[in-house]
Amino acid sequence: MGLMIALTSGSAFAAHPLITDDTGTQGKGKFQLEVNGQYDSDKETISGVSVKTTGGQAATTLSYGIIDNTDLVLGIPYVWSTVKENDATVSDEKGISDTTFEVKWRFFEKDGFSFALKPGVSFPTGDENKGLSSGKIGYHGYFIISKESAPWAFHTNLGYIRNENTVGERVDIWHASLAATYEVIKNLKVVGNIGIDRNRDTDSDNDPAFLIGGVIYSFAENFDIDFGVKVGMTKAETDYSLLAGTTFRF
């Protein structure tokens, strides 16, 4: 069984419920606090044994603008997972997972196009013995492209994750994804997201691919709520996830 930390996907912290990040930053001296929840469900049959995995995460992400085009981003996830084989519980773990620290730098912006880089480091703050941690310091980097043309916005991420770990997972992981948002009416956006990652299981060439649909509603200029559904497009991806979150800017 792979690391429970895989529930966090290891990708950039985006405008929830999207996984694909955008190039937006907070502005000098400003903060953003995101509190997001996710419920996952997956079922498969392995060598005649029915395996059902349920779980999720509650993630807190704090961003701070050190200058107008550069943010510092700290993410702390709490994850849980239950695994049943033929309805018998074989694993039930929960706790803080690995902490992530990132820097987002938007280095180009013209005519609605913008480019950004987002390198980061993950620290093994979870309990490795419970599958809550990789057990090693890892790092990652994302190249982000955004194009805004109201009421539409499009975002692309290309990423590399150095998945240092102690359980024999694949170390070199790539990520590619595309997201779009459309403002239906003032303060209400519908969002979509598609993406794929290299499988962390060294014995599998079936890479997890996902599709997300959801909405973001702005109650006020500095307060958003969001809801979404994520479905797996390949066998390696979780069957489905329910997503919800809030965002505060101050």
Of 140, 7, 129, which Cα lies nearest the Cα of 73? 140
- Residue written as tokens 């209400």? 188
User: Which residues, at least 6 apart from 38, have a Cβ–Cβ distance to it below 8 Å?
Assistant: 7, 56, 57, 58, 59, 241, 242, 243, 244
Percentages of the chain per state (helix, strand, coil), in multiples of 5: 5, 65, 30
pLDDT of residue 9: 46
> What's the whole-model pTM score?
0.93
Question: Is the separation of the CB atoms in 10 and 3 below 8 Å?
Answer: no
Cα 242–Cα 245–Cα 250 angle in degrees, nearest 5: 170
- Mean pLDDT, the chain cut into blocks of 10 residues (250 residues total): 47 80 97 97 91 96 98 97 93 95 98 97 95 95 97 98 96 98 97 98 95 97 97 96 98
Phi and psi torsions of 8, nearest 5° = -85, -10
Q: b/e string for 158-173 if b means 16 or more Cβ within 10 A?
A: ebbbebebeeebeeeb
Question: What's the Cα-to-Cα distance from 29 to each of 63, 97, 119, 133, rounded to whole Å?
Answer: 10, 28, 21, 32
pLDDT of residue 46: 84
| Each residue's pLDDT tens digit, 10-69 | 444 578 999 999 999 999 999 999 999 999 999 998 888 999 999 999 999 999 999 999
CATH number of 4-249: 2.40.160.40
Amino acid (1-letter code) at residue 123: F
Q: How many residues are given for the chain?
A: 250
- Residue written as tokens 């709490």? 78
Count CB neighbours of 58 within 10 A.
Answer: 14
Amino acid (1-letter code) at residue 198: R
Amino acid (1-letter code) at residue 52: K
